[in-house]
Structure 1
């Protein structure tokens, strides 16, 4: 299953890339709250229902929170896989609060949907209940990779009942579990992942972001590789077309020679685009 983590592994070069990007000063602080890090905080009773929270200095009632959702085929992975993204965002966008969560992993007895969506809902509720304690605003963003991209899109499109999500970014995330190229896949690893959802067509539609997106869905940033062995090109392109049809603000970035993650200049290009998108959709409102 190592290939599910190719994108995470590639991010070890962030140490050199981050220094290449311009730093932007933030406005004079309106508070003198120090930065604070909380690790392995419980948002539920299951051992996997924990998260790390990175609270920026000088935060205030409008400070937004970006939630990171790891991948791993819905049955593997850890919040630590998102640490390179965490480090990049903390350095480049220091006004953000960042929540990096673990969620319950799927197996033959526990389907990914709705279990993992319920975990995200529990985390969002927890953050809302502790807003005063943490001194945070109500605005949210999501960034997910692979299965985490799927979950980020799905929660933002179908389960954000209070319209708090201002932006969602999916990196190589599946969008349509009814896609025929998925249902007939011969890749053994891919088959194992998709079988976790079962065969109920209604459930698969409810669990597919492309069937849940609406005209008032949040701004969406999509990254896909043309040689991805796990996510067909049609997944990102069809969601892009649906977003265009509905008039939802979005960006679609396609790297034709890349797979399920990438390195080098294309990685740097992706991170520059991510930073710019977050700054526009989750600005520092002091």
Structure 2
């Protein structure tokens, strides 16, 4: 059964965020920039919560922006700063993008490589404080595709781009995600998908199959898709179809539809859309104890 979120609940979450901000819960946290490879745009920003607690759960953030070079990880740092006060380490990752050094298959490979880096260079820079058995991933729009794809990497066949995923992911929270790239390129007329994969589905059917998270079910972890009903950039049908397919495959998949919310609201860390997303992420972190 698909879960729908009432307006009153959204309002309550928004109020809770306002109260937290007033209490100092969103104070600035200076990130540690860490390269996970040697090429340009293969780095991430690690945000650690105040204090010296060990065994910190980790949330990987994957920014959106059509997979294109001009959109980077900077705005996702504001999301990270709302999560660290709850005792969560945040790994806000960058990846090579279309118009730069990215595209097929590099952009997909980087997201997995950045995740795997938690077990070595990132853990080293965190002084061993990260609990790698409690790693969660969240992504927005194009970054939602990358996050869901990375979570599905263990279920993919031998033709999937290297590397294999070596750091297990416990849950995925996807904001306005692109789960079926063939649907996006055809019915959605999404030029960004075409640019990422180098053409239309008829030109590269294998690329579309490999890159579409909906083609790699079940993933075997909880997945929450959060989508605005007024989204005119990524159709809500992307999330509806994914969640229905995931549940049919036996996954613990949930859809939260946000009334009167479009696409861009998720990028605002003070919005009701992000408040719902943050609560979802923190709920998943809590359940992984």
Cα deviation, residue 15, structure 1 = 11
Alpha-carbon distance change, 15 to 270 in structure 1, aligned in 2, over 3 angstroms: closer
* Structure 1 equivalent of residue 7 of structure 2: none
Distance 1:15 1:280 in 2: 16
**Does structure 2 conserve the Cα–Cα contact (< 8 Å) formed by 1:107 and 1:196?**
no
Distance 2:77 2:64 in 1: 12
Cα deviation, residue 66, structure 1 = 0.5
Alpha-carbon distance change, 38 to 281 in structure 1, aligned in 2, over 3 angstroms: same
Alpha-carbon distance change, 232 to 272 in structure 1, aligned in 2, over 3 angstroms: closer
> Residues 129-278 of structure 1 correspond to what in structure 2 (within 5 A)?
129-130=120-121, 131=123, 133-138=127-132, 139-159=134-154, 161-162=165-166, 164-179=168-183, 182-186=185-189, 190-197=190-197, 198=199, 199-214=203-218, 216=220, 218-262=221-265, 268-278=271-281
**Does structure 2 conserve the Cα–Cα contact (< 8 Å) formed by 1:176 and 1:208?**
yes
Distance 2:150 2:182 in 1: 18
Alpha-carbon distance change, 166 to 118 in structure 1, aligned in 2, over 3 angstroms: same
**Does structure 2 conserve the Cα–Cα contact (< 8 Å) formed by 1:17 and 1:268?**
no
* Structure 2 equivalent of residue 9 of structure 1: none
Root mean square deviation of aligned Cα: 3.2
* Structure 1 equivalent of residue 112 of structure 2: 121
Identify unmatched segments of 5+ residues in structure 2.
1-12, 155-163
Distance 1:277 1:145 in 2: 14
Alpha-carbon distance change, 23 to 152 in structure 1, aligned in 2, over 3 angstroms: farther
Cα deviation, residue 193, structure 1 = 4.1
Cα deviation, residue 123, structure 1 = 1.7
Alignment pair present for 1:63 and 2:56: yes
Distance 2:41 2:101 in 1: 16
Distance 2:22 2:233 in 1: 35
TM-score where L is the length of structure 1: 0.76
Identify unmatched segments of 5+ residues in structure 1.
1-13, 25-34
Alignment length (residue pairs):
251
Give CA deviations for 1:25-75 in whole Å, capped at 9, x if unaligned: xxxxxxxxxx98543321111121111111222332x32110111111001
